[in-house]
Structure 1
Amino acid sequence: MTTATAGPNVRPAEVDALRRALDLAATDGLVLGPNPRVGCVLLDADGATIAEGFHRGAGTPHAEAVALANARAAVGPDALRGATAVVTLEPCAHTGRTGPCAEALLEAGIARVVFAQPDPNPLAAGGGALLRAAGVDVVGGVLDDEARALNPVWTEAMELGRPFVTWKVAASLDGRTAAADGTSRWITSAASRADVHRLRAGVDTVLVGSGTVAADDPSLTVRDADLPGRQPLRAVMGLRDLPPSSRLAVPDPDGTETLHLRTHDPREALTALWAADRRHVLLEGGATLAAAFWRAGLVDEVVAYVAPVLLGTGPPAVGDLGISTITGALRLDVTDVAVITPGPDHLDGPADAGPGETNVRLTLRPRKES
């Protein structure tokens, strides 16, 4: 249940603290990997802030631990007895690289916990129940929608139990990804290609098939000085060996490595990526790989760049889906439309295939059967 304002069980000061915790959680921008962004504010009995903290990513202290440490350094441990912890995510009950936050709050003497989003991770969930069993007053679901919006992909991945998959495709108006003779490597404009690098910067894995590696020799890196420097994992799916001279056969100059998933089964590939703590996969392969993921029902989002070009022939955006009638068509709902106007080309490489072209970026979600 979402509580937008203070209800009978939540004080206005706690709602204000939770909004502050949401702001704290977003301090470092997008945090990729297995952990969500989380913020925590500690309040005294009068609703005044004692200390606060936020999580900086996997392997670092959780938000509650940071806030507790800051409180002990500022006012001493005794000030935490009877205090309230306000957190954007249910305190975890899991021992991983760090200890359970629920137990840390108990040890500190926290008497009340107000949290926003229940933890969707089955391995970490249960902190609220643990705290209640120990006599702590716990209220959950406050500003839940705002908390989910802070970590939308992570939340969906946890609920799915596998990485969230975004399929990126760049095509002509008639759905071709290249000309029949292979001359048009770039279908969309330079501005669209720069936007793809923004898209890559927001995921933790870029996945292609071994056929794409052999045909295009992609680098799959983020190459824009204005974007965060951390590179996504480069993953290749397929049985054939990578050409020794290909860009993905050796680590990128910045140390980015390649994970070769020797399988044709999308579910097996996603299982391996999940085990490697990957939560958001950008599918950039060709028509064959795209069709495999669609047939398996493993595409969660589509980002399509459409150029005002007609080719008539050439490789299609997606391969055979086994659909023979219009009633079997895969339907999608448009969630966003953006017009990408010409701009400076931030990327090194061949001349633009369509100088000055305006492209359209469509974001879509597969329609869920009712």
Structure 2
Amino acid sequence: MTATPAEHDAMRRALDLARRGPRGVNPQVGAIILSADGEILAEGWHRGAGTPHAEVAALAHLAPGDAQGSTAVVTLEPCNHTGRTGPCAEALIAAGVSRVVYAIDDPGDASSGGAARLRAAGVAVESHVEADAAHALLDSWLTVQALGRPHVTVKWAQSLDGRAAASDGTSQWITGPAARADVHRRRAEADAIIVGTGTLLADDPALTARAEDGSLLPHQPMPVVLGERAVPAGAAVHRHPLPLVQYAGDLDEALADLRDRGVHRVFVEGGPAVAASFVRGGLADEFLVYVAPVLIGGEMLALRDLGVTTIGEARRLSVHAVEKLGDDLLIVAAPATEGVS
């Protein structure tokens, strides 16, 4: 049996609920309990570490027995382990739920297996409903689970001929106001923003996420600097609401430390050498390239050497979207999967 229209609608609602929860160590999850005729009986979402999981939060709105014969619609496979809370699969079974519909499998070694546990108890299970939307919501959390590091977005702005600055080093501003506003919005969605000491010393960036009027947006990314050179005492980054974190060593070690600090989404902003180091290391999960309709020329390339010596070694990308922002273009891309040419 495939998911019904009512179950698809409920999954989209569950994804909206999931977004209300905080991003962090735990995934954002939403749940809906449907009656046999497809009416919503209860809904819930995970509100953070140590709080009830989404399924249990939804069931808590029902009296004992009211979930008998119902369908639970959940954005992530119900967990099958005991941590700070009990297994959600067991809670659904105990409540008398007869069918569970979920979007994506739980990748955790300890927490996965909920679907198998439900089926063993006679509960019908339907998976991968609205899976693309769920993956988009949980991409950073899924990266942490799969790779043990934060999801990395590498961003740069360039002229149409691929330059990041003029020959004298000036780069403010290649792109226009609409593109810069988009960058700040995306900064606010990240847990950390990374630049190298070269960019910090040349541009003195604040590394904050700001509204068009210059005020700080509600969520601020952790400011991170890569490199051994000292950050001047008067640097703008020291006025950031969060303390500066600086790494002088290996990128993998820096990302592992950020993961341990609860960082799931990293926004790499510069400069060309830092961006290239993430690409060379295979550490870039997403690219945001803002292209301005200007020509600069010269040697100030937007991306430094990637170690590519022949065209067969080129880093192939899949373009996911192209957006027009004022006079500029934003290209959203990711490393191409096998077989993409």
> TM-score by structure 1 length?
0.79
Q: How many angstroms does 1:156 deviate by?
A: 4.7
Structure-2 residue corresponding to 1:340: 325
Secondary structure class of the residue paired with 2:245 = strand
Q: How many angstroms does 1:321 deviate by?
A: 1.4
Question: 8 Å contact 2:12–2:130 — kept in the other structure?
Answer: no
Question: 8 Å contact 1:205–1:278 — kept in the other structure?
Answer: yes
Structure-1 residue corresponding to 2:129: 143
Structure-2 residue corresponding to 1:3: none
1:195 to 182, 193, 203: 182
1:42 to 33, 54, 57: 33
Q: In the TM superposition, what are the counterparts of 1:198-213 in structure 2 within 5 Å?
A: 198-213=185-200
Q: Residue 368 in 1 paired to residue 333 in 2?
A: no
**1:127–1:277 CA distance, 2 compared to 1 (3 A):** farther
The whole-number CA distance in structure 2 between the counterparts of 1:113 and 1:147 is 18
**1:54–1:239 CA distance, 2 compared to 1 (3 A):** same
**1:238–1:136 CA distance, 2 compared to 1 (3 A):** farther
Q: Which runs of 5+ in 1 are unaligned?
A: 1-5, 342-357
The whole-number CA distance in structure 1 between the counterparts of 2:153 and 2:77 is 27
Secondary structure class of the residue paired with 1:278 = coil
Question: 8 Å contact 2:17–2:44 — kept in the other structure?
Answer: no
The whole-number CA distance in structure 1 between the counterparts of 2:255 and 2:297 is 34
The whole-number CA distance in structure 1 between the counterparts of 2:47 and 2:247 is 29
Q: Residue 328 in 1 paired to residue 313 in 2?
A: yes
Q: Residue 16 in 1 paired to residue 1 in 2?
A: no
AA aligned opposite 2:106: D
**1:170–1:47 CA distance, 2 compared to 1 (3 A):** closer
Q: Cα deviations across residues 88-113 of structure 1 (Å, max 9, x unaligned)?
A: 21112344554432233344444443
Structure-2 residue corresponding to 1:186: 173
Question: 8 Å contact 2:163–2:301 — kept in the other structure?
Answer: yes
**1:225–1:37 CA distance, 2 compared to 1 (3 A):** farther
Question: 8 Å contact 1:85–1:113 — kept in the other structure?
Answer: yes
Question: 8 Å contact 2:154–2:284 — kept in the other structure?
Answer: yes
**1:150–1:170 CA distance, 2 compared to 1 (3 A):** closer
AA aligned opposite 1:271: A
Q: Residue 224 in 1 paired to residue 215 in 2?
A: no
Structure-2 residue corresponding to 1:297: 282
AA aligned opposite 1:359: D
Q: Residue 245 in 1 paired to residue 234 in 2?
A: yes
Question: 8 Å contact 1:118–1:125 — kept in the other structure?
Answer: yes
Q: Cα deviations across residues 191-235 of structure 1 (Å, max 9, x unaligned)?
A: 211111122122222111233222222121110169961112222
Q: How many angstroms does 1:340 deviate by?
A: 1.5
**1:150–1:327 CA distance, 2 compared to 1 (3 A):** closer
Question: 8 Å contact 2:194–2:267 — kept in the other structure?
Answer: yes
Secondary structure class of the residue paired with 1:196 = helix
Question: 8 Å contact 2:28–2:138 — kept in the other structure?
Answer: no
AA aligned opposite 1:291: A
CA RMSD of the aligned region, Å? Answer: 2.8
The whole-number CA distance in structure 2 between the counterparts of 1:44 and 1:173 is 56
Q: How many angstroms does 1:58 deviate by?
A: 4.8
Q: How many angstroms does 1:85 deviate by?
A: 2.3
Q: How many angstroms does 1:167 deviate by?
A: 0.8
Q: How many angstroms does 1:82 deviate by?
A: 4.9
Q: How many angstroms does 1:302 deviate by?
A: 1.1
How many residues are treated as equivalent by the alignment? 335
Structure-1 residue corresponding to 2:102: 115
Structure-2 residue corresponding to 1:92: 79
Secondary structure class of the residue paired with 1:79 = coil
Structure-1 residue corresponding to 2:245: 259
The whole-number CA distance in structure 1 between the counterparts of 2:116 and 2:18 is 30
**1:132–1:41 CA distance, 2 compared to 1 (3 A):** same
Q: Cα deviations across residues 136-193 of structure 1 (Å, max 9, x unaligned)?
A: 4141315153553552523651334432211100011222211121344322112211
1:173 to 139, 144, 160: 160
**1:58–1:179 CA distance, 2 compared to 1 (3 A):** farther
Secondary structure class of the residue paired with 1:70 = coil
Secondary structure class of the residue paired with 1:330 = coil
Question: 8 Å contact 2:18–2:30 — kept in the other structure?
Answer: no
The whole-number CA distance in structure 2 between the counterparts of 1:164 and 1:262 is 20
Percent identical residues: 45
AA aligned opposite 1:179: A
Question: 8 Å contact 1:26–1:150 — kept in the other structure?
Answer: no
Structure-1 residue corresponding to 2:301: 316
Question: 8 Å contact 1:22–1:38 — kept in the other structure?
Answer: no
